[in-house]
Amino acid sequence: MAGRALLLAGPPGTGKTAIAMAIAHELGNKVPFCPMVGSEVFSSEIKKTEVLMENFRRSIGLRIRETKEVYEGEVTELTPVETENPMGGFGRTISNVVIGLKTAKGTKQLKLDPSIYEALQKEKVEVGDVIYIEANSGAVKRQGRSDTFATEFDLETEEYVPLPKGDVHKKKEVVQDVTLHDLDVANARPQGGQDVLSLVGQLMKPKKTEITDKLRQEINKVVNKYIDQGIAELVPGVLFIDEVHMLDLETFTYLHKSLESPIAPIVIFATNRGRCVIRGTSDIYSPHGIPLDLLDRLMIIQTTPYKVAEIEQIIKLRAQTEGLSIDEEAVASLSEVGSKTTLRYAVQLMTPAFQSAKVNGRTQIIKEDILEVNDLFLDAKRSSEFLQKSSKFMK
Ligand SMILES: Nc1ncnc2c1ncn2[C@@H]1O[C@H](COP(=O)(O)OP(=O)(O)O)[C@@H](O)[C@H]1O
Ligand SMILES: [Mg+2]
């Protein structure tokens, strides 16, 4: 999978960003998709290459299957036990917490460490919830509300889960989807140990700490080991870099190097530039502003302006998704406008056109509405013509 890269090149408004969004949608939520814009790398606080590397690792997923020793069940009881503060003073502290767990097979009462009480509070665990507690780390995961409570209210946002089968204390296969960036963050925490897996549970509390190249290499090593052992599986995702001509020579070089590494996502670039100067240099011209050696790796897909018939189709689809009613003649007229200006402009006219229809007491957009709003608003081309003519107004 290493180093596959694709370039979408074409004029503005030819659907490059739209294609990327469609890809993200198709991939679903189990495959990482990380969108960014070239200019994002320029920050006054973070190094350019660091921004790039972070997004690079956000685009690589890891599916980890672990068999864990857990206590699982519906919470029947949750009682913190308080004692006098051993250090003196008036405060009381929690010495332990007693929790009752129920499954289809039986019940069990556990006496747990106060740190687990904190974890239970963070997960907002209440009586009637189905949870599991990892035996070795004490991590608590709330799975949902027990479905015996499902009829309590008519309308709820809660997720209901069945009462777990088997014993309370058991071995359970847990599948987790994380990205390499998640692992970086989890392991950059100062109290972090060497074991990636044991830290996965801490992922929900990202903290601002340094992630170094050395740490990443360490993590790659552990990840590779887990892949070899069959515990984890690499899920190649997609890194989408829009307006890629905004990157400079340094970031391009870094990107090229990263693409060579065996653990790399699929990278999709998009640009609307033709031949131009590579940013960060004064006189190196290159197609799309991308250095030739990197360009050489890319499969290039040309996107071309939409034809009238295609614009028509897109307008109809848009109208459908936005719940706007528009007649055939208006679609044709709007497509005509779109082919002379841009697809984006045509799509943007739909909302005001609908307002115009409403003002005239209709629920359907007709040709007159299109002509009216096209008269009211200017596209970029007409606007610049207007500015040129009235030179005393603006220079
Ligand atoms: N195939 C398509 N279906 C629906 N809408 C589209 C399609 N292609 C482009 N669009 C719409 O057209 C406009 C311009 O497309 P965009 O992807 O932003 O162009 P680019 O990134 O090439 O400049 C956007 O509003 C987008 O939602
Ligand atoms: Mg775009």
- What DSSP letter does each residue of 354-365 carry, written as one string? HHHHHHTT-SEE
Measured by CA distance, the residue closest to atom 27 of ligand 1 is 18
The bridge status of strand 107-112 relative to strand 33-37 is unpaired
User: Is 18 touching ligand 1 by the criterion CB < 6 Å?
Assistant: yes
Rounded to a whole number, what is the distance in angstroms from the first to the last CA of the chain? Answer: 52
Q: Which of 242, 243, 246, 249 has the alpha carbon at shortest distance from 282?
A: 249
Q: Do residues 197 and 67 make contact, with C-beta atoms less than 8 angstroms apart?
A: no
Spatial separation of the C-alpha atoms in residues 354 and 358, rounded to whole Å: 6
Measured by CA distance, the residue closest to atom 7 of ligand 1 is 15
Q: What is the pLDDT of residue 22?
A: 92
Give distance in angstroms: CA of 20 to centre of ligand 2: 9
The amino acid at residue 315 is: I
User: Is 14 touching ligand 1 by the criterion CB < 6 Å?
Assistant: yes
Spatial separation of the C-alpha atoms in residues 51 and 34, rounded to whole Å: 12
Q: What is the pLDDT of residues 77-116, one digit of tens each?
A: 998 888 777 666 666 778 888 999 999 988 999 888 888 8
Query: Of all atoms in ligand 1, which is nearest to the CA of residue 21?
Result: 17
Q: Do residues 64 and 197 make contact, with C-beta atoms less than 8 angstroms apart?
A: yes
Q: Tokens 């020793």 — which residue?
A: 69
Q: What is the pLDDT of residue 189?
A: 64
Give distance in angstroms: CA of 305 to centre of ligand 1: 10
Average pLDDT value over all residues in the chain = 86
Spatial separation of the C-alpha atoms in residues 5 and 25, rounded to whole Å: 19
Give distance in angstroms: CA of 381 to centre of ligand 1: 19
Q: What is the pLDDT of residue 57?
A: 93
Query: Of all atoms in ligand 1, which is nearest to the CA of residue 344?
Result: 13
Measured by CA distance, the residue closest to atom 13 of ligand 1 is 344
Q: What is the pLDDT of residue 38?
A: 92
Q: What is the pLDDT of residue 204?
A: 45
Q: What is the pLDDT of residue 212?
A: 83
Give distance in angstroms: CA of 37 to centre of ligand 2: 9
Query: Of all atoms in ligand 1, which is nearest to the CA of residue 270?
Result: 21
Measured by CA distance, the residue closest to atom 9 of ligand 1 is 15
Query: Of all atoms in ligand 1, which is nearest to the CA of residue 18?
Result: 17
Q: What is the pLDDT of residue 350?
A: 93
Residues 6+ apart with CB under 8 A from 25: none
Q: What is the pLDDT of residue 65?
A: 87
Cα angle: 367, vertex 369, 371; to 5 degrees:
70
User: What sign results for the dihedral spanned by CA atoms 38, 39, 44, 45?
Assistant: negative
Q: What is the pLDDT of residue 20?
A: 92
Q: Do residues 196 and 223 make contact, with C-beta atoms less than 8 angstroms apart?
A: yes
Give distance in angstroms: CA of 301 to centre of ligand 2: 14
Q: Cα–Cα distances in Å, from 87 out to 26, 84, 91, 153, 279?
A: 58, 9, 9, 46, 63
Q: What is the pLDDT of residues 375-392, one digit of tens each?
A: 898 888 888 888 888 766
Q: What is the pLDDT of residues 128-138, one digit of tens each?
A: 999 999 888 88
What is this structure's pTM? 0.73
Give distance in angstroms: CA of 330 to centre of ligand 2: 27
Q: Do residues 236 and 266 make contact, with C-beta atoms less than 8 angstroms apart?
A: yes
Q: Cα–Cα distances in Å, from 68 out to 59, 198, 240, 332?
A: 27, 10, 35, 61
Q: Do residues 64 and 229 make contact, with C-beta atoms less than 8 angstroms apart?
A: no
User: What sign results for the dihedral spanned by CA atoms 149, 156, 118, 79?
Assistant: negative
pLDDT tens track, the chain, 395 positions: 457 899 999 998 899 999 999 999 998 888 999 999 999 989 888 888 899 999 999 999 999 888 889 999 999 999 888 877 766 666 677 888 899 999 998 899 988 888 888 888 888 899 999 999 988 888 888 988 888 877 666 666 778 888 988 889 988 888 888 999 988 888 876 544 444 555 554 554 444 467 888 888 888 888 999 899 988 999 989 999 999 999 999 999 999 998 988 888 999 999 999 899 999 898 899 999 999 999 998 999 999 999 999 999 999 999 999 999 999 999 999 999 999 888 889 999 999 999 999 999 999 999 999 999 998 988 888 888 888 887 666 55
